Amino acid sequence: MPTPKTTELARHRKERMWMWLQLLPVLAVLTVLFGGALVLAVMQSLGFAPWFGVNTFPDFSYFAALWGGGFFWKSLGLTLYYATISTLIALVLGTFLALALVRHFPSKSLYKYLYKLPLMIPYTVGIALAVIMLGNGGMLSRIFAFVGLIGDPSEFPQILKTHYGWGVIAVYVWKQTPFVTLTLYAVLLGVGRETEEAATILGANKMQVFFQVTLPQILPGIVSSTLIIFAFNIGAFEAPFILGGGFPDTLPVVAWRYFNDADYTLQLQGMATVVSITLIASGILYSYLALYRRYERRIGRN
């Protein structure tokens, strides 16, 4: 006689198979679109490009050439520097804005629309704005000259096209602060004000309330939003291309220069660059997530 346990198991097996069946279309699309592209990129970077008459697969010389050249590491440093600094600034500004938005203040509804504006304006427009505002001969320099802080607009300190990358960072921050704000605002609404009020009544000051009560509760939102903007910043191309300081460029710009070269065999070198970016970015993002998971487990969330 079959025990009830066996039938239960059989049902579970059926349910699991049904689940896989339902997932199949999605998995197929994911595999072809992302997996396929990734495999192709890796193959090319290892010397497989018969359509250019090149096929030396597997050939690590493109990576060797890239990683052996000193400029690669400088480029990597620049890429990470722009990405990290702008992510951090956007995070701090976005958190402040989100915290402000859950409180009551006059004309709040106007601000709630205003701050989302950059989200709807394309990056290229942002870059153009940066050029108009921050360049030598731009608005800011003219205003400075006009009020007599500097003698001539050309004396204005160089903001764009330096390796400090203030222009690049400004554009990223301008575009991504609203994104962080939007994410954290939604999380804060879900968390509510009550735990903050309880903490205040228990005697906590503003800093203690933020760091010990609010921050841990909005951390999932912070992690996901910074993850997304950091990943974007590592791979972004237009802003550092137009507003960056020239050689050494950030890695995506390096890759683009290879792809754009008259010597089309350099495309393989470009692919090696792209694959390197992917490896580094996924390594960083994975470690970030793993760190966060460890923290979550430590505070008992599963």
Contact positions vs other proteins (CB under 8 A): 194-195, 197-205, 208, 212-213, 216-217, 299-301
Q: CB 222 → other proteins: shortest distance, Å? A: 13
Select 15 or 194, whichever has its Cβ closest to other proteins. Answer: 194
Q: CB 193 → other proteins: shortest distance, Å? A: 9
Q: CB 186 → other proteins: shortest distance, Å? A: 17
Select 196 or 249, whichever has its Cβ closest to other proteins. Answer: 196
Q: CB 216 → other proteins: shortest distance, Å? A: 4
Q: CB 192 → other proteins: shortest distance, Å? A: 8
Select 108 or 116, whichever has its Cβ closest to other proteins. Answer: 108
Select 84 or 200, whichever has its Cβ closest to other proteins. Answer: 200
Select 23 or 198, whichever has its Cβ closest to other proteins. Answer: 198
Write the secondary structure of the chain as one string of H (helix), E (strand) and C (coil).
CCCHHHHHHHHHHHHHHHHHHHHHHHHHHHHHHHHHHHHHHHHHHCCEEHHHCEECCCCCHHHHHHHHCHHHHHHHHHHHHHHHHHHHHHHHHHHHHHHHHCCCCCCHHHHHHHCCHHHHCCHHHHHHHHHHHHCCCCHHHHHHHHCCCCCCHHHCCCCCCCCCCHHHHHHHHHHHHHHHHHHHHHHHHHHCCHHHHHHHHCCCCHHHHHHHHHHHHHHHHHHHHHHHHHHHHHHCCHHHHHHCCCCCCCHHHHHHHHHCCCCCCHHHHHHHHHHHHHHHHHHHHHHHHHHHHHHHHHCCCC
Select 154 or 212, whichever has its Cβ closest to other proteins. Answer: 212
Q: CB 188 → other proteins: shortest distance, Å? A: 14
